[in-house]
Amino acid sequence: MIKIVFFDIDGTLLPYGHKDLLESTKLALGQLKENGIKIAISSGRQKNQIQGGIKNQGFDAYVSINGMLCSVGDQVIYRKPLEEEDKNYIIDLMNKKDISAFIVEEEKIYMNYMSEKFKRNMLRYKLPQPDLKDYIDPTRAGDVYQVVVFAEDENKYEEVAKNSKKIKIVNKMPDGVDMAHAGGGKDKGIKKVLDYYGYEEDEALVIGDGYNDISMIRAFKNSMAMGNASEEVKRYASHIGERDVDDGIYKGLKYFGLI
């Protein structure tokens, strides 16, 4: 029996270009809670970036920053920041302007170099505006959970990961990538939440649409790829639902018999 559902946000709970959840999605979330099923977020976003209509739904747990930081209520239960060596490596690349990227800490985002390509993508993806710093002092930086990199040459991404100690690409966008600790991921973060609640893996349902959702969709028996997901994502899901804009969440939860 499914006891908890993990939702990606962009392209899953929240259709691209929409400012609020569909009414059918809000109804479905409410019915899950009424039926005693916990609801959780599994997103690339920081927890403090999840606001408005999403935050108001009363989610029980958050697997944030692509699984690198997880919380239940206000309690952080799991952290997977970059190794200190890798943090210093990335900051050095940024200070040399070898890459255009921004650093993601638990609640802060900052960078020191914004290329024209980066500016275009900030607008395209409606990314949060990072603080600009003339120089990033690695000794004063906090734990780094993710680095969002935009490069003119796509080979740069693999080069950065290869030359690190334990960094992997956790999300791919048309013009950039999210990089984080190689030992983390949405799948790992979800398992930490399940351990906290004492749930088995087959008591969870995971729903997503993007490249960063593949790890969780592959890892769990009960999984749904949205109808708007790429074929690369759909191939790993146990069920392919409707598009996000076509009441995909509501219909998918109906399919699994949860509402």
Residues with Cβ within 8 Å of residue 39, at least 6 apart in sequence: 4, 5, 7, 29, 32, 33, 57, 58, 59, 60
DSSP label at 33?
H
Domains in the chain: how many in total? Answer: 2
pTM: 0.94
Give the pLDDT confidence of 145-183 residue by residue, as tens digits.
999 998 777 788 999 999 999 999 999 987 789 999 999
Q: Do 71 and 92 reside in the same domain of the chain?
A: no
pLDDT at 192: 98
Neighbours of 80 (CB within 10 A): 21
Together in a domain, 65 and 140: no
Cβ atoms of 79 and 69 within 8 Å: the answer is yes
Model confidence at 126: pLDDT above 70: no
User: Is the domain of 31 the same as that of 120?
Assistant: no
Please compute, for residue 169, the number of CA atoms within 13 A of its CA located in the half-sphere on the CB side.
Answer: 18
pLDDT score recorded for residue 231: 95
Domain of 154 in residue numbering reads as 84-181
Contact assessment for residue 38 and residue 197, using Cβ atoms and an 8 Å cutoff: yes
Q: Which of 132, 155, 181 is the last residue before a domain boundary? A: 181
Average pLDDT, the chain: 93
Place of tokens 């976003």: 45
- 240 conformational bin, left if phi > 0, alpha if psi -120 to 50, beta if neither: beta
Comparing 127 with 130, the larger pLDDT belongs to 130
End-of-domain residue from the set 181, 204, 225: 181
Can you tell me which residue has the tokens 């690695």?
138
CA distances from 4 to 35, 58, 59, 118, 215 (A): 11, 13, 11, 37, 18
